[in-house]
Amino acid sequence: MIGQRTTASRTVEPAAALVAPAATTSGSAPAGAAVASHPAIAATAAALMPDAATIDRLAGLGAGRRRSELAFKRGLDVVGAIGGLVVLSPVFAVLTVAIWATDGRPAFFRQPRAGLHGRPFTIAKFRTMARDADAQRAALRAHNEIAGGASFKLTDDPRVTAMGRFLRRTSLDELPQLWNVLRGEMSLVGPRPHPFDDLEGYQEWHYARLAMKPGMTGLWQISARRDPDFDRWVAQDLQYIRGWSPLLDIRIMLKTLPALLRADGR
């Protein structure tokens, strides 16, 4: 249940109360609006979640991975993001115009999400929902299809537009996250980033999935994308985090395209 929570003798408001308002999360606010709310979100997140060392311990990580491996991961991210943004720029243009034509402006959705160790960043996506989607979110939570309540998904979400259904099935709505990857806020491969109100439903061990930078795709996306059990979702994330290697990232990226062609996103 979302409500006030007491941590270390301090009463803190839930993170959901500090997430950017509906106008921002639906994408109709200026680009900097969600960013401006980050200090407040960061302060609340720090009170609600474990610190970075505890998150790494929960994930079973030791002293750290070799810098050469992490440098390779970052290099792959930069090359992939730049290449993707350049090659896919015509797709960006077509999708932007299509959203404008079918549902008006804005074409993009921006929302604060929990990044590495819970650090807030503003995710970018193509808008797939009505402009007042966030105002309807609380009322729809009772119909959440993800067990445990720490994530929120509906197969037939009434907030999703006709164009949005196509974008979600094909995962084309995720393409703007290449910009987040280029900025170093996300990786091409990693656990998917959650809104801060979803973190309200985390059990302590779930925070272990924040031990790596969030990604555009991951082990869960290619193997259990429609699994409604959040615990199994996190188990997949931890399998990736604990067994991570540059080769694993390459394997996941190679398997992502067939998963996208199945068009079973939601």
Residue whose token pair is 């994530």 = 151
Listed residue (180, 38, 61, 178) closest to 118, CA to CA: 38
For 152, residues 6+ apart whose C-beta sits below 8 A from its C-beta are: 137, 140, 141, 144, 146, 198
Backbone angles phi, psi at 10, to 5 degrees: -115, 140
**Cα distance between the two ends of the chain:** 25
CA gap 162, 139 in Å, rounded = 21
Mean pLDDT per segment of 10 residues, for the chain of length 266 residues? 36 36 36 48 68 89 70 93 96 96 92 92 93 72 66 76 90 95 96 87 91 92 75 91 92 85 60
Prediction pTM value: 0.79
CA gap 34, 27 in Å, rounded = 9
